[in-house]
Chain A
Amino acid sequence: MRVYILFLFAMMSTRLLLLLYLTGHVFAKKSQDVDCLVVNLDYVSCKWNKTGTPEVNYTFYSKLGNDQWKICNHYLTENNVNIGCNQQVDSRDRFKTFRTRLTNGSENFEKGHELKKQVKLNPPTNLTVLNGSDFNLWFYWNHTSPAPLHCVEGEVRFRTNNNNWDFSKVSAGIQKYCINLPSSSSRYELQVRNRIDDSCGESIFWSDWSEPVVWGSNNSTYSKDLMSPWTPVIYVVGAISFILLAMLLLHHERLRIILVPVVPKPSPFLHNIEDWFQFSKGLKDNFKPDYNERACPVREYNYVSQSDVVSSDGSTCSVTTDQTNCSIEHDPEDLSAPFPSNPVSSEEVQKASV
């Protein structure tokens, strides 16, 4: 029983809470969100139509710092309903808190804004291009805001012959940009935008891009590969020359042989390689696969004078070098031979001494 009562109590509480939530959601005031932007440091533009056109006309008030509330002089409307206000303020006071108030009868929405970084400048103007005496391309521009020159930084983008954009930052205080040694056959297009520099409270918004300026050929149709007018002529002349040369080669054999020599056709029969060269017969035999070279014995020779050999036994002995087993023939008349005139082997020396 107790459990049943507790269950009923929980169910009723849940339903009551749900009912309260739904009715609260229906009758809750829809707050208006106001967004403000300092335009070109001339005026502040505030709008409250981010979530859609409001249903009622609100009255807009604003004040800067500790000043008095000021009513809006210039409303922005949409379908006869106020959706925003342009308020003239001293742009130098954007460092102070900017407070806004929207009222409609008993409704009252107040909000504080930090305008230091909420600045959007107008795009630069009078963008001009000059071909300098240093053969470089110089671009110049102006800005229309009351900001000092050292407070405005820029960014340029340029492209060559309608290719992709290249971006480059321009430091504060500088209102010119240089493209080095441009090509006279290319087309250059440049745009610039600006914003407040960090030293004066950097704005988070860049201005819109300026009107583009173009340098280079204007009249021709531009493609990535610019064709010279002489190119078709060269193609035609080249084709005619090729045809004439082909005809000459076909009808004049002599010319054909000179220009295109005949490549000798290798014989299908195999020949011995040694027949290609002028070798002696002995050297030819050396290349035969069954060639067998016998070892040549090497003897040590001592040099003994002829007088000593004769006095020992009264007989002379002649010594010859046995070279019958050697493959290399020794020419006795060859004076360049390393052997002496009377070489004596060690065996003959021992016989002579005995």
Chain B
Amino acid sequence: MKLIVFCLFTIYCCSLVKASYPMERKKLQEVLRELKMLKHDIPNTELMMNTPPKDIEDCCCLTALTCFRETLLQHFGISGKYQKKLYKSLNHTLTISGLNFCNTETSTTNCSTCHSHPKEKASEFFNRLESLVQRGLSRIN
């Protein structure tokens, strides 16, 4: 009886893993839409923000995601409609799993902290965040 329950539980977990791929894709597409709405909503600003680099190692993408999220919170808050939505989406488990490119077996990378990143303009900040999300979508089958 215990073996049957264990097998059923294993099959159920495997189906969840297989079914999560479309959910991750949909979530990342939702993040892209919210990001575009926010870029359109915020006028051209000369605000300078700590921005992760263009060339992010695979195992540092989650660290970069955290940096993007916290910098967004620090400079724009969550009072606005699109700011709040984007922050919540960037904090979602599906977004985090969708942008996790790290193969833990080969991970030897030391990722830079958020404050160590040089400051860039807000437009460049949003472009790099967009590229990170597109990178995640291009890896999901």
Interface size class of B (residues with CB under 8 A): 10 to 19
- How many A-B contacts are there with CB distance less than 8 Å? 42
Chain B residues near A199 (CB-CB < 8 A): 28-29, 32, 134, 137
The yes or no answer to A95 lying at the interface (CB within 8 A) is: yes
In the complex, what distance in Å separates the CA atom of A200 from the CA atom of B28? 10
Q: In the complex, what's the smallest C-beta–C-beta distance from A68 to chain B, in angstroms?
A: 14
Q: Tell me if A116 and B131 are in contact (CB < 8 A).
A: yes
B134 CB contact (under 8 Å) in A66, A96, A97, A201: A201
Q: Tell me if A92 and B54 are in contact (CB < 8 A).
A: no
B55 CB contact (under 8 Å) in A65, A116, A147, A200: A65
Q: In the complex, what's the smallest C-beta–C-beta distance from B120 to chain A, in angstroms?
A: 15
Instruction: List which A2-56 residues lie within 8 A (CB) of chain B.
Output: none
Given A96-B54, A97-B55, A147-B138, the answer on whether A201 and B29 have CB atoms closer than 8 Å is: no
The yes or no answer to B81 lying at the interface (CB within 8 A) is: no
Chain A residues near B138 (CB-CB < 8 A): 92, 95, 147-148, 151, 200-201
B131 CB contact (under 8 Å) in A92, A147, A150, A201: A201
Interface centre among B32, B137, B138, B139 (most CB of A within 10 A): B138
Chain B residues near A66 (CB-CB < 8 A): 55, 57
Instruction: List which B1-47 residues lie within 8 A (CB) of chain A.
Output: 25, 28-29, 32
In the complex, what distance in Å separates the CA atom of A196 from the CA atom of B54? 20
The yes or no answer to B141 lying at the interface (CB within 8 A) is: yes
Given A97-B55, A199-B29, the answer on whether A116 and B139 have CB atoms closer than 8 Å is: no
The yes or no answer to B140 lying at the interface (CB within 8 A) is: yes
Tally of A interface residues using CB under 8 Å: 14
Q: In the complex, what's the smallest C-beta–C-beta distance from B65 to chain A, in angstroms?
A: 14
In the complex, what distance in Å separates the CA atom of A148 from the CA atom of B25? 11
Q: Tell me if A95 and B134 are in contact (CB < 8 A).
A: yes
Chain A residues near B32 (CB-CB < 8 A): 199
The yes or no answer to B135 lying at the interface (CB within 8 A) is: yes
Chain B interface, DSSP helix/strand/loop, else mixed? helix
In the complex, what distance in Å separates the CA atom of A341 from the CA atom of B29? 108
Q: In the complex, what's the smallest C-beta–C-beta distance from A54 to chain B, in angstroms?
A: 29
Q: Tell me if A116 and B134 are in contact (CB < 8 A).
A: yes
In the complex, what distance in Å separates the CA atom of A252 from the CA atom of B60? 105
Q: Tell me if A150 and B55 are in contact (CB < 8 A).
A: no
Q: Tell me if A150 and B54 are in contact (CB < 8 A).
A: no
Q: In the complex, what's the smallest C-beta–C-beta distance from B126 to chain A, in angstroms?
A: 15
Q: Tell me if A150 and B135 are in contact (CB < 8 A).
A: no
Q: Tell me if A96 and B137 are in contact (CB < 8 A).
A: no
Q: Tell me if A92 and B55 are in contact (CB < 8 A).
A: no
Output the nearest chain B residue to A147 by Cβ-Cβ distance: B138
Chain B residues near A201 (CB-CB < 8 A): 131, 134-135, 138
Given A95-B131, A116-B131, A199-B32, the answer on whether A151 and B137 have CB atoms closer than 8 Å is: yes
In the complex, what distance in Å separates the CA atom of A44 from the CA atom of B25? 27
Output the nearest chain B residue to A95 by Cβ-Cβ distance: B135
Instruction: List which B96-141 residues lie within 8 A (CB) of chain A.
Output: 131-132, 134-135, 137-141
Instruction: List which A88-121 residues lie within 8 A (CB) of chain B.
Output: 92, 95-97, 116
In the complex, what distance in Å separates the CA atom of A151 from the CA atom of B57? 22
Output the nearest chain A residue to B138 by Cβ-Cβ distance: A200
Q: Tell me if B137 and A97 are in contact (CB < 8 A).
A: no
Q: In the complex, what's the smallest C-beta–C-beta distance from B52 to chain A, in angstroms?
A: 12
Known: A199-B134, A201-B131, A201-B138; 6 extra A-B contacts, CB below 8 A, are A92-B135, A92-B138, A96-B55, A97-B55, A150-B140, A201-B134
Some 10 contacts from A to B, beta carbons below 8 A apart, are A66-B55, A66-B57, A95-B134, A97-B55, A116-B131, A148-B140, A150-B140, A199-B29, A201-B131, A201-B138
